[in-house]
Amino acid sequence: MRRVRAFFGGIHPNDNKQNTNSTPIKVLPAPAVVVVPLQQHAGREAKPLVAKGDDVLKGQLIAEAEGRISARVHSPVSGKVVAVEPRPSASGRPLTCVVIENDGEERWVEKEGHPDPVQLDAQTILQRIHGAGIVGMGGAGFPTAVKLAPPKEATIDYLLLNGCECEPYLTTDHRLMVEHAEEIVLGAKLMAKACGARKIIIGVEDNKPDAIAALREKAGAIEVAVLRTRYPQGGEKQLIQALTGREVPSGGLPFQAGCVVQNVGTAWAVAKALRDGEPLISRVVTVTGSAVAEPQNFLVPIGTPFKDLIEAAGGFAKTPGKVVAGGPMTGGAQFSLDVPVTKTIGGILAFAEGESTTPDSQPCIKCARCVDVCPANLLPLKLEAYGMNEQFDNAREYGALDCIECGCCTYICPSKRPLLHYIRFAKAEIIAREKRSS
């Protein structure tokens, strides 16, 4: 077996995956009404192509990408558009959504698949990935076709597939690797062809031996590398460091280290789009946490409300104190269960009251634990102070923009300081100022 590798810094929290990592993915039927946001990706909101009263087919294009960094949106059901209007979203701000009443007939748009899509040329693969509205499904939501087309002068040596799923509680990628290894390997080959990568490596943490075995059975010449379980192993820069020994320069992007990094869930979506002709209209979501009666992994249409998933997981066994969209380290707390699942939401976590309190923070004792765990080699205690005191030039100079917002510093701090909160604040201010002055 290939040697187990890791990266600088990081933490090892209890992964709490035991409730769902052996639970097969269950397909949930589409709800009576789906609410489909037009911004489920990094970049500009897609432009709606339908209006109230229109009939739509399952898989039909309902919003076109706007500008270079954007992604198409398709209907997850057949039925009638009943509204195109702002609705609450898991991000905390209202987003324009296409609301569709499901007719339950599953009438599909004509599908353009290919029995052996690896035979397609690179340009056609890229066009079909763009056409299917595929975005990074690990959470960042960057449009996949854009990421696979770095500047012409860049040479891509590696396509790296992220199968780490290093956030505690989440098991969607784990179950996809166990149950859909063949499609993931196909998606990896297609993406490598699209970006011209010479070598593919799939990185999986060593707490998923069944996923490693399933991938190796289908991988052929593709390397499946075992990585030490450590958060945030799945961060792009951390994965590149662990798998290739290369470093992305400060403020730089993976292509500058000759790499393109994609998530295993994205690879699965790419295979389904090119082989079966299905756009990205559904995803796997882990529903778990101490307040959930029967934690499970569900394959659900995009636009399904959170409350339907909670109900399908047996409802709340205890009164929830906090519901989080995504993982516990980087996800966001929710104020409503009416918000819909999007292309980037891999988990809904509900924690019982008493497990979700905010501790009182104490003065910094200069122990440097936050420095030891920072995978970006930063000084989180300094960045926090600069953010708190609105000294944004100092925060920039000390590398605030290199912070990957992993939350390791906040997790480890014995004084319970809200380090990431102030670092995010500083980053947002720096970016806003730079936009204003450009």
Positions that interact with ligand SF4 (CB under 6 A): 364-370, 373-376, 378, 380-381, 383, 403-409, 412-415, 417, 419-420, 423
Q: 104 or 414: whose CB is closer to ligand SF4?
A: 414
Length of the chain: 438
Q: 249 or 354: whose CB is closer to ligand SF4?
A: 249
Q: 57 or 395: whose CB is closer to ligand SF4?
A: 395
Task: Say how far apart CA 397 and CA 406 lie, in whole Å.
Answer: 20
Least separation, in Å, of the C-beta of 404 and ligand SF4?
5
Could you identify the residue written with the tokens 């796997």?
284
- Taking alpha carbons only, the member of 271, 239, 237, 280 closest to residue 256 is 237
Least separation, in Å, of the C-beta of 168 and ligand SF4?
15
Least separation, in Å, of the C-beta of 371 and ligand SF4?
7
Q: 42 or 364: whose CB is closer to ligand SF4?
A: 364
Least separation, in Å, of the C-beta of 205 and ligand SF4?
18
Least separation, in Å, of the C-beta of 361 and ligand SF4?
9
CB 143 within 8 A of CB 130: yes
Least separation, in Å, of the C-beta of 240 and ligand SF4?
15
Question: What type of residue is 207?
Answer: N
Least separation, in Å, of the C-beta of 294 and ligand SF4?
33
Q: 267 or 409: whose CB is closer to ligand SF4?
A: 409
Q: 192 or 409: whose CB is closer to ligand SF4?
A: 409
Q: Which long-range contacts (CB under 8 A, 24 or more apart) does 243-251 make?
A: 243/5, 243/158, 243/160, 243/201, 243/203, 244/157, 244/158, 244/160, 244/201, 250/399, 250/402, 251/401, 251/402
Residues 6+ apart with CB under 8 A from 373: 9, 10, 11, 408, 409, 411, 412
Dihedral sign, Cα of residue 378, residue 380, residue 385, residue 387: positive
Least separation, in Å, of the C-beta of 421 and ligand SF4?
10
Q: 364 or 388: whose CB is closer to ligand SF4?
A: 364
Q: 9 or 303: whose CB is closer to ligand SF4?
A: 9
